[in-house]
């Protein structure tokens, strides 16, 4: 990768920081609109990532527009036709609502790689592994400082898109400040081989101090992900225990459905941790910087919609920006306002619904009553999935 020297001017029309689903989708959309795009990604791909890895079929039209739907179809795990609730000794199943087909799981090691490869084919300049360490703004646009194993460099463009997710701390002002509270929610994920989880079933897990989900992804792998309060996890850990081992023992002990689904399963790689997570509605455009994916707004992962929201928001932003002269500062501001309004119409409801579900799911004592209602009327689980955006395509 040849790096431009520090201080160079307007190297591109758009710079995107972060090569997850939000950043890669924006990059593809902008490159297809004819812009010169640079995508900066810190990690080498393929890499595993904390995520439940389920994507609802409502994102299928966007995958088609991005030109990756055939690859996704070929790679993703089985179609998910049923939802379930696993809480304590209770196991309830219900049909998954159907939109443009059925949702499926695909490991983030495969999905993110696939999207960045498509961005490259569309002409995006991929800078990877390469970390954005700072940005400054002047009348012409943004200057971004980069760090790689070869040294430092800089890019400049009128459009800057922050797509670096919301969980990592760092020097960028779009990154969250350090925080540490007993109520922090930490994200965890592991892959397993084997186990007895039915191929078409996606259970929502509710256990003391947290919530999670399971799904079969590509190659028959079972993906188990969850969020747990920091204080609950600390109380579970005995000297010498890894966080993952303590968490897995807690899940198996407190939830029959998990115990049965993991019967005979073998851990494939280590438990991964991330966070604390930061569910919230955030500005989609501020200080001249557009935000996509988690950075624009984040739903509690209990609804498994973050990848869809990232991909859809990236595509939405690229559509808005493709209609303007990117060198016109006023047009950029107006586009930011239009993008934020469209983003809120599309995603606000599910962020609020996810807050309510997550607060319930982390309290199995309160959840027990809801569990009884769901057991009597499994359709309420299907309704919850509708509220979470599972059948809402990008408008």
Ligand X SMILES: Cc1cc2nc3c(=O)[nH]c(=O)nc-3n(C[C@H](O)[C@H](O)[C@H](O)COP(=O)(O)OP(=O)(O)OC[C@H]3O[C@@H](n4cnc5c(N)ncnc54)[C@H](O)[C@@H]3O)c2cc1C
- Interstrand relation of 266-274 and 222-229 (parallel, antiparallel or unpaired): unpaired
Structure tokens at 82: 């049923």
Among candidates 63, 43, 61, 44, which has minimal Cα distance to 106?
63
Select from 16, 26, 41, 347 the one that contacts ligand X (CB under 6 A). 41
Does 27 participate in binding ligand X (rule CB under 6 A)? no
Residue 203 CA to residue 93 CA, distance in Å, equals 8
- Please say whether the beta carbons of 282 and 296 come within 8 A: yes
Among candidates 274, 271, 270, 267, which has minimal Cα distance to 301?
274
Residue 309 CA to residue 334 CA, distance in Å, equals 22
Does 389 participate in binding ligand X (rule CB under 6 A)? no
Does 43 participate in binding ligand X (rule CB under 6 A)? yes
- Please say whether the beta carbons of 210 and 227 come within 8 A: yes
Q: Whose Cβ is closer to ligand X: residue 158's or residue 314's?
A: 314
Residues 6+ apart with CB under 8 A from 269: 48, 190, 191
Does 21 participate in binding ligand X (rule CB under 6 A)? yes
Select from 26, 87, 248, 308 the one that contacts ligand X (CB under 6 A). 308
Q: How far is the CB of 295 from ligand X (least distance, A)?
A: 6
Q: Whose Cβ is closer to ligand X: residue 306's or residue 378's?
A: 306
Does 304 participate in binding ligand X (rule CB under 6 A)? yes
The region of 51-59, 75-83, 192-200, 362-370 touching ligand X under the rule CB under 6 A is 51-59
Q: How far is the CB of 93 from ligand X (least distance, A)?
A: 18
Select from 99, 225, 346, 388 the one that contacts ligand X (CB under 6 A). 225
Q: Whose Cβ is closer to ligand X: residue 268's or residue 329's?
A: 268
Residue 44, judged by CB atoms within 10 A of its CB (0-12, 13-18, 19+), counts as exposed
Residue 286 CA to residue 289 CA, distance in Å, equals 5
Q: Which of residues 151-170 bind ligand X (CB under 6 A)?
A: 163-165, 168, 170
The region of 222-230, 239-247, 261-269, 356-364 touching ligand X under the rule CB under 6 A is 222-230
> Apex CA 307: angle with CA 302 and CA 312, to 5°?
125
Q: What is the CA radius of gyration of the chain?
A: 21
Does 228 participate in binding ligand X (rule CB under 6 A)? no
Residue 280 CA to residue 344 CA, distance in Å, equals 12
Does 18 participate in binding ligand X (rule CB under 6 A)? yes
DSSP string, 248-303: HHHHHHH-HHHHHHTTT-EEEEEEEEE-----EE--SEETTEEE-GGGTEE--GGG
Count of residues engaged in binding ligand X, rule: CB under 6 A: 42
Does 141 participate in binding ligand X (rule CB under 6 A)? no
Q: How far is the CB of 193 from ligand X (least distance, A)?
A: 19
Does 77 participate in binding ligand X (rule CB under 6 A)? no
Select from 28, 35, 38, 50 the one that contacts ligand X (CB under 6 A). 50
Structure tokens at 14: 């758009």
Q: Whose Cβ is closer to ligand X: residue 227's or residue 335's?
A: 227
Select from 27, 37, 54, 205 the one that contacts ligand X (CB under 6 A). 54
Q: How far is the CB of 20 from ligand X (least distance, A)?
A: 2
Does 276 participate in binding ligand X (rule CB under 6 A)? no
Which residues of the chain form contacts with ligand X (CB under 6 A)? 17-23, 40-43, 50-55, 131-132, 163-165, 168, 170, 187, 189, 213, 225-227, 274, 277, 293-295, 301, 304-308, 310
């Amino acid at each position: 990768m040849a790096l431009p020297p520090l201080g160079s001017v307007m190297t591109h029309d758009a710079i995107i920081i972060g090569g997850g689903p939000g950043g890669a989708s924006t990059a593809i959309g902008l490159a297809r609109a004819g812009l010169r795009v640079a995508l900066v990604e810190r990690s080498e791909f393929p890499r595993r990532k904390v995520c439940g890895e389920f994507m609802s079929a409502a994102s299928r039209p966007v995958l088609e527009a991005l030109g990756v739907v055939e690859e996704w179809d070929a790679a993703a795990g089985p179609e998910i036709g049923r939802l379930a609730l696993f809480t304590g000794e209770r196991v309830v199943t219900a049909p998954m609502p159907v939109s443009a087909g059925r949702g499926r799981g695909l490991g983030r090691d495969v999905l993110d790689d696939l999207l960045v490869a498509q961005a490259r084919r569309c002409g995006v300049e991929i800078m990877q592994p390469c970390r954005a360490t700072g940005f400054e703004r002047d009348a012409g646009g943004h200057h971004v400082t980069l760090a790689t194993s070869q040294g430092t460099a800089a890019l400049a463009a009128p459009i800057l898109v922050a797509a670096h997710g919301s969980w990592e701390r760092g020097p960028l002002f779009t990154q969250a400040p350090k925080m540490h509270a007993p109520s922090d929610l930490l994200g965890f994920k592991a892959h397993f081989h084997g186990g007895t989880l039915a191929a078409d079933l996606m259970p929502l897990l509710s256990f003391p101090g947290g919530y999670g989900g399971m799904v079969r992804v590509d190659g028959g792998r079972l993906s188990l992900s969850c969020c747990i309060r920091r204080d609950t996890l600390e109380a579970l850990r005995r000297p010498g225990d890894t966080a993952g081992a303590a968490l897995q023992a807690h899940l198996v002990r407190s939830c029959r459905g998990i115990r049965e689904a993991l019967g005979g399963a073998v851990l494939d790689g280590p438990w991964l941790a991330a966070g604390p997570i930061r569910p919230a509605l955030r500005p989609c455009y501020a200080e001249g910087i557009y935000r996509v994916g988690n950075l624009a707004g984040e739903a509690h992962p209990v609804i498994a919609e973050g990848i869809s929201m990232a991909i859809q928001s990236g595509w939405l932003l690229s559509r808005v920006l493709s209609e303007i002269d990117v060198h016109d500062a006023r047009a950029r501001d107006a586009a930011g306002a239009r993008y934020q309004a469209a983003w809120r119409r599309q995603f606000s409801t599910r962020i609020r619904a996810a807050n309510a579900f997550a607060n319930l799911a982390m309290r199995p004592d309160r959840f027990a009553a809801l569990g009884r209602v769901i057991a009597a009327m499994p359709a309420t689980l299907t309704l919850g999935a509708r509220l979470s955006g599972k059948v809402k395509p990008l408008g």
